[in-house]
Amino acid sequence: MAINSKTELPEDRLNFEALKSHHKSKAIASISKQQNPFDLLRILYEGAVSGAAAGVVVEAALYPIDTIKTRLQAVRGGGQIILKGLYSGLAGNLVGVLPASAIFIGVYEPAKRKLLDSFPENLSALAHLTAGAIGGAASSIVRVPTEVVKQRMQTCQFSSAPDAVLLIVAKEGFRGLYAGYGSFLLRDLPFDAIQFCLYEQLRMGYKLAAKRDLKVSENAMIGAFAGAITGAITTPLDVIKTRLMVQGSAKQYEGILHCVKTIAREEGASTLFKGIGPRVLWIGIGGSIFFGVLERTKKLVAAKQPVD
């Protein structure tokens, strides 16, 4: 029987349907990959709430250890540290930590999602490193003044946060609230990038090995390890930042390099590792609490969001 060229064979119809289905699924995949702006806003909101909760819990719980670390780093030569008033400046610090932590995680989470979508799978560590640095840079606008006031109060220069702010501005100008900004970024951008990269990569590896979602205690354990390692590595940067922030109008140091040279010449290079014990303890325990609270809060906040 002759077949007209326009006559459709059953196989042709099947091939056509398969091709149409393939193109349709590709189009759907392409659309789904383009993230809805409302999804990014939801991620930002969830991150901000979770970050604020985690940051406040850590600061309130571990503030005395942080105070001891700051006083160890601030004292010059063989001076003695004061062990009184270990909660000095806590209330004012929490006022700054809440928005700073909210900004950090609120920026970090959407940045991480976008970078992971953009980078190949084998560069996920770079995505986490970059997102951590971006989050740190964004939150530094609030974190630096908070840190300046906190450390001045921890070293007994002021009795209250409002007095500290007013007197710093009166003596040093508004720039006084951002004393040591460069050294803060030098310490915190690598710290944030390394800590969050370590945490995310260890968490991904653990999840693959366990073949399930992680428990709160497991997230906390990974957070403690990531925090302790990063805290130890960045201790010299922390010492420099502390010295520049607490010097006030005395201006013992002219900048980061001058600070390093002066410390090494007058007190020895080992001084750059002052306070490493309390710092590792504080950030290790803090990492455990922070990431444990963070993941738990993210789940709680996500559960309350309406399902699309």
Domain boundaries of the chain, sorted by first residue: 37-304
Model confidence band, residue 299 (pLDDT cutoffs 50, 70, 90):
confident
Pick the CATH number of 37-304 from 3.90.180.10, 1.50.40.10, 3.30.2320.80, 3.90.1150.10: 1.50.40.10
CA–CA–CA angle 274, 280, 281 (5° rounding): 115
Burial 155-184 (b: 16+ CB within 10 A, else e): bebbeebeebbeebeeebeeebbbbbbebb
- Considering only 15-24, 36-45, 216-225, which range has the smallest mean pLDDT? 15-24
Distance, CA of 279 to CA of 229 (rounded, Å): 11
Kindly state the average pLDDT of the residues 268-272: 91
Looking at residue 35, what is its pLDDT? 53
Q: Which residues contact 77 (CB under 8 A, 6 or more apart)?
A: 266, 267
Q: CB-side exposure of 207: number of CA atoms within 13 Å?
A: 11
Looking at residue 255, what is its pLDDT? 86
* Eight-state DSSP code of residue 305: S
pTM beyond cutoff 0.85: no
Q: Which residues contact 47 (CB under 8 A, 6 or more apart)?
A: 105, 106, 107, 108, 109, 110, 298
Looking at residue 228, what is its pLDDT? 95
The CA R_g of the chain, rounded to the nearest whole Å, is 25
Query: What would the pLDDT profile of 123-158 be if each residue is shown by its tens digit?
Result: 999 999 999 999 999 999 999 999 999 989 888 888
Distance, CA of 164 to CA of 32 (rounded, Å): 51
Would you call 89 exposed, middle or buried from its count of C-beta atoms within 10 A (0-12, 13-18, 19+)? buried
Looking at residue 127, what is its pLDDT? 95
Distance, CA of 194 to CA of 171 (rounded, Å): 36
